[in-house]
Chains A and B, each alone.
Chain A
Amino acid sequence: MIENFIHQSIFFTINQSVNQPFQHYQENEKMIINDITLNKIRDNLWEIPQTGNMRVPGRIYISQNMIEKSLKDDEALKQVVNVAHLPGIEKYSLAMPDIHWGYGFPIGGVAATNLDEGVISPGGVGYDINCGVRLAVTSLEYEKVQSRIGNLISKLFENVPTGVGASGAIKKLSNKDLKQVLEKGSVWAVENGLGIPSDIEFTEESGTLRNANFSAVSQRALERGADQAGTLGSGNHFLEIDVVDDIYDAKTAEVFGLFSGQLVVLIHTGSRGLGYQVCDDYLKVLLNASAKYGFKLPDKQLACAPINSQEGQDYLAAMQAAANFAWNNRQVIMHLAKKSLLETFNMTESELGFRLVYDVCHNIAKIEKHKIADKMKEVCVHRKGATRAFPPGSELIPSKYKGVGQPVLIPGDMGRYSYIAVGTEKAMEETFGSSCHGAGRNLSRTKALKSAKGRDLVKELKDKGIIIQAKGYKTIAEEMPGAYKDVADVVDVMHNEGITRKIAMIRPVGVIKG
């Protein structure tokens, strides 16, 4: 029988003002932030004790410095506490060091629920289902092609639709085509000449979640996605040309096909309007389901249903379909990027040496096996702004990587750097095989626009060796490097805790944005 999901709503409701005075004291390795106690477990690991109707404690991977800088004015800790109330949650309500507040779960939130009495929640996935990152390498040395990066960026901007409501990368998909895309994911793109078979192997889940169901996706979602396949979108989505700047683990870098000074391509986008609509549709369904199953929600964005209920299964099937759409999207964009490189540098495929390293998702819920109380158990792992980080030997990563572990791609902002890391056994032990996903914003869009006033950001980036092309200057200003936190801090926490290991750092030399 499903227990009631009852929460001490008086203390933890969404009505609670975010303007509570920041209380910070350290006493025997403890901090109190906005009335929430954080007990220090290790230098970069803090625990919120299980109290009241929390079913498990909360655990946050974060440095003390980052707590002081970013959590005092943020509701994210309350959200970690809220998530700890979900029926069937196992071990901990987790958050990675890029924690900041989101809708339902915090961004950076990870929670696993058992399949017997556990729930599934769109709040633990996000609106942009399977937003994720893809890294491809070339055999080119940046120094030798530096003078043509401007041409490359122009060609990319021409070939890859970017921006608000972007459409038209490939023909508008009919419902019949969409059915194929939603059920096959990036396999559809490869079958239609928009990739090569090995691309599938180097994509998380081989680019297809197999229980996707086209019928679970609304006509409205299909309409929103029909002409958006192969489009970048807007906001913080991007396509970057980067150079491998620093290598921390030469052996693993070699396995991944990375070398110092190499030109690589980084793509960040998701399921576009189709995914947003699926989330929207099922928030409504699961709000009704929450009432039906007697769950009292502290936050409507945590609407949920038992995984094994009809509502839960329908959401899972629709979410998987949207995830497949996103993988197809990144596959098509990568194909367009490769085409742009070939056209710009006027070389053969063999000379270009273009190859997919890996594709990861960072907004997803998946059924996985994890060890809980010394037994392997199937659970539904929600990763909301968190990346899978599986260790060496995992059956679910490409054979080529079994000796070293799964690549974990962590993008930073367009003015600094991004990281490639690798999953570890410790991630499996502590975080359901999960790690961070990025940096998070520092400044609101309004403040970023204000900060950009009177500046020539395009020139500033050019002076740093970065060529940018975007739909409008407003996008560049809103997405300026200073608007984001430093991803190095986030990555270092994960590295120092042994959850992921840093392998290489890449820095941008060209960017296209919507």
Chain B
Amino acid sequence: MLNKKYVRNLTSQHKFIDHTADIAVEITADSFEELIQESLIAFNESVLDSVDKKSEEELEIDLKDSSKEGILVSFLNEINYLLTVKRWISKSIYETVLKKEKNNFELCCKIKGSQLTDGIDLKEEIKSVTYHQMEIKEENGKFFTRIVFDI
């Protein structure tokens, strides 16, 4: 579980890689929960020129899937929905808990964010987060994955 107030771990990072048609990003983190947080940062960088740190609201999400990859895709698609339909930017997550029961995973977390300011446009429209080449690997205590956003 992440600390109540998330402080970005300096060893978590993301790197955009060249992709012919869409946006691809590789993420490294020290835990699955930090991988989720880093993916949120990468998502926001893909669609917005800048994100101010001020958060005015929070909401809770609870996602279930049969795989960690599915949880990650569901999480990012949720963020995308909040942004494109509700015009609400997710800025950070906390109290992140990943549970596993039999063959299912459940992610619960709280998200801090705020309404997109009027007049601010997205720089990209992400159709969806794909499963393409996505595999969350764990090696030597580090988590890695690649995410492709279909634009």
Chain A residues near B (Cβ < 8 Å):
14-15, 100, 103, 127-128, 163-165, 220, 223-224, 233-235, 273, 276-277, 279-280, 283-284, 287-288, 291, 299-301, 441-447, 471-472, 474
Contact = CB atoms under 8 A, between A and B. Distances in A.
Interface string B69-109: 11000100100010011000000000000000000000000
B130 interface: yes
Contacts of A103: 130-132, 148, 150
A14 B125 contact: no
B3 interface: no
B136 interface: no
Contacts of A223: 85
Interface stretch (B5-13, B17-25, B30-38, B53-61): B17-25
B77 A280 contact: yes
B130 A164 contact: no
Interface of B is mostly: loop
B131 A301 contact: yes
Nearest to A300: B131
A3 to B, nearest CB: 23
Q: Which of A280, A291, A447 has the most CB of B within 10 A?
A: A280
User: On chain B, which size bracket covers the interface?
Assistant: 20 to 34
Given A103-B150, A280-B77, A441-B21, A233 B132 contact: no
Given A235-B151, A284-B70, A276 B128 contact: yes
Given A14-B132, A103-B130, A301-B130, A224 B85 contact: yes
A164 B123 contact: yes
Contacts of B133: 14
Contact of B66 (A220, A279, A288, A446): A288
Contacts of A442: 20
A103 B66 CA distance: 20
A280 B125 contact: no
Interface in B114-131: 121-125, 127-128, 130-131
16 contacts: A128-B127, A164-B122, A164-B123, A165-B84, A224-B84, A235-B125, A280-B77, A288-B66, A299-B131, A301-B131, A444-B18, A444-B21, A445-B19, A445-B23, A447-B18, A474-B123
Contact of A287 (B18, B70, B123, B124): B70
A173 to B, nearest CB: 14
